[in-house]
Copies of this chain bind each other. A is one copy, B any other.
C-alpha cells in the first residue's frame, strides 16, 4: 500500500486523450441501412447524383395550362378551357397540351407537355369537359421546378454530421439506401472486485452488487460505442490480463485502479503495455489511470461508482466519442445559473461537484462521497471547479452540466 507519488493534472490527461484519439489509425467506416442510420455519424460528404424532383411538378390541386392563356381571366371575365386529361402523381400524360386546353392536375403530378403553370382549383369551375378560369397565373406559377429541392451534383450533407430524421428523408429521396457512417468503437468493460455480485443481484452479507457495469454500458451506448461486458472478472492477475488482451478499441477496467497490492490493472498495463497516466489531481476519480495495450486504449476506472462515472465522463467517454467520429465535447446540456450557497473546493485539484437546481438556483448536493452513487441520481447535474480555484462564493453564476 502506497499513495501516488505524482498526480497528473486533468488538463494534461485530457490532452493525452485527444492526442491518443488523433494518433490512432484512421477511423473505420461502414455502410448502414437507412432504417438504422438515425443518430449515426456520417463518414463522408454526400452528393446527389439526381435532381429532386427530376421533373416539373404541380404544387397544388388545379389545372395545368399555358400561363399566357389565362391573361385577362377574372371573376367577371372567366375564360374557357377544354379539359383534355387528368395528371396524377407518378403518371405521364402523353398528350401535348395545346392553346386553350387544360389538364386537371393533382399536387405532386408531373406537368404535362405544353403547360407551364398551374391554376389552383379555387380559381376554376368545371363542368364536363369545360373549365372556366377566373384568375391569371404567370409562367412557372405553382410549379416545382426540376432540382428545386436538390440539384444534381450538389452537396447534400457533410461528413461528421450526426444524422437527423429529416436527413434520412433527404438521403432516401436521392436514392441512398446504404449510408456511409463511422463504425462504432468496440468497448470492452471489465468489472473487477471480489466483493461484487453480478449486476442486479440482491446484495447479501458483505457482498455488494455491481453498479458500474450497467452504468458504463449505458454511458458507452450514449457515446456511440458498442459495449461488450463479459461478466465479473476475478481479482486475479492472470484472469485480468487474459480479459485485457481480447480485441477491443477501448478497454474499461472498473476497480483495482489504485496503488494497493490487489490493484493489478495498473501493474499489468505497465508491464504488458504502457501506463501513460496513473493518479489524477481531481476529486473524485484521483486513483484513475490510462494507457495503451496492443491496439487498445485502456482506462483504469476506480471501483467507487461516483469516481467511475466521473473518470468515464472526463476521459473514456471523450475518447469513445472521438473514435466514433463525434465531437469530443460532453453530450450534457449546459446551463448558467447562480449558486444559492457557496461551493467549496481544495486548490490544486479539479472538483466534480454534484448539484441540484432548486428554483433556478444551484445547490450543492449534500451527500457526496465517491461511493454514494445515489448522490448522482438525486442531483440534476454537476459543476466542475477548476484546479486553480478554492470554490465559488454564493451567487456566482456557474456552468451546470445537466445529467438528463
What chain B residues lie within 8 Å of A221 (beta carbons)?
38
A193 CB within 8 Å of chain B: yes
What chain B residues lie within 8 Å of A53 (beta carbons)?
203, 208, 371
- Segment among A86-94, A245-253, A275-283, A390-398 that sits at the interface with chain B: A86-94
A6 CB within 8 Å of chain B: no
A99 CB within 8 Å of chain B: no
A122 CB within 8 Å of chain B: yes
- A144 close to B371 (CB less than 8 A): yes
Copies in the complex: 2
- A3 close to B214 (CB less than 8 A): no
Contact of A92 among B104, B170, B205 (CB under 8 A): B205
Q: How far is the CB of A88 from chain B (nearest CB, A)?
A: 7
A72-102 to B contact mask, C-beta < 8 Å, 1/0: 0000000000000000111110000000000
- A373 close to B110 (CB less than 8 A): no
A173-217 to B contact mask, C-beta < 8 Å, 1/0: 111111000000000000001111001111111111111111111
What chain B residues lie within 8 Å of A165 (beta carbons)?
214-219, 222, 309
The majority secondary structure among interface residues of chain A is loop
What chain B residues lie within 8 Å of A163 (beta carbons)?
218
27 interchain pairs, CB-CB under 8 A = A2-B121, A35-B229, A49-B202, A54-B204, A88-B194, A90-B195, A91-B195, A92-B206, A106-B262, A107-B260, A109-B206, A148-B371, A149-B374, A156-B377, A165-B214, A165-B215, A165-B216, A165-B309, A166-B305, A166-B377, A168-B218, A169-B211, A169-B214, A169-B215, A170-B377, A172-B211, A176-B200
Given A38-B222, A149-B372, A173-B209, 18 more contacts at CB 8 Å? A3-B121, A38-B218, A55-B205, A90-B193, A91-B194, A91-B195, A107-B260, A148-B369, A148-B371, A164-B404, A165-B215, A165-B217, A169-B211, A170-B211, A172-B199, A173-B305, A177-B201, A333-B333
A-side residues, CB < 8 A to B, are 1-3, 34-35, 37-39, 49-50, 52-55, 57, 59, 61-62, 88-92, 104, 106-110, 121-122, 144, 148-150, 156-157, 162-178, 193-196, 199-219, 221-222, 229, 258, 260, 262, 303-305, 309, 333, 367, 369, 371-374, 376-377, 403-404
